[in-house]
Amino acid sequence: MPGRRALITAVMGPLLLAGCGFQLRGTTELPFSRIALEGFAPRSPLADELRRTLSQSAEVVATPALAQVVLHALNDKRERSVVASTTASQVRELTLRVRLEFRLTTPGGRELIPATELLQTRDMSYSETVALAKEYEEAQLVRAMQTDIVGQLMRRLAHVKVSAG
């Protein structure tokens, strides 16, 4: 009865998958409507991605006086270090890091999230013979780490208690 098995599979398959809890991530609901960003470098790629992501759920304002909360970037760095090389000093492996240290306050200075560090690390092999491809791979890894950090930050912001008290 191959026809009957196919019918059962066709009917039961979607029902089983629906019960697994899988859900696409949507926009994050934030407990505030206006946020100011301070302390980021003028052309920080992380700040740009954070602004784009925040703008889906809240208004990013220019000054802390107009905001309900203020996100202070204490440290926003991209790091690249050599972890393995040949005896001829040719690089063979790199470690890439994207680091964000931040704190969240009200415009009046009340601390909502104390100084917190978010760190993403990736290891990458390297070869001078394919330097251009490795440069592209490095850029892609850094963008992925940056996106992960923005996602982690958004989840933290979603659980902030903004009301006084």
Q: Report the C-alpha gap between 115 and 159 in whole angstroms.
A: 16
With beta carbons less than 8 A apart as the criterion, state whether 22 and 13 touch.
no
How far apart are alpha carbons 6 and 3 in whole angstroms? 5
Fold of 36-158: Double Stranded RNA Binding Domain (3.30.160)
Of 54, 142, 144, nearest to 104 by C-alpha is 54
- Report the pLDDT value the prediction gives residue 28, as an integer from 0 to 100: 72
Mean pLDDT of 83-107: 93
pLDDT at 125 over 70: yes
The predicted model gives 56-80 an average pLDDT of 94
Sorting pLDDT into bands at 50, 70 and 90, what band is 6?
Answer: low
The mean pLDDT value for 101-125 works out to 96
pLDDT digits (tens, 9 = 90+) for 9-45: 666 666 555 556 555 556 678 999 999 999 998 899 9
Query: pLDDT value at position 152?
Result: 96
Average pLDDT over residues 141-159: 96
pLDDT band for position 154 (50/70/90)? very high
**Domain layout of the chain by residue ranges:** 36-158
The CA distance from 122 to 3, in Å, is 48
Please give the model's pTM, rounded to 2 decimal places: 0.79
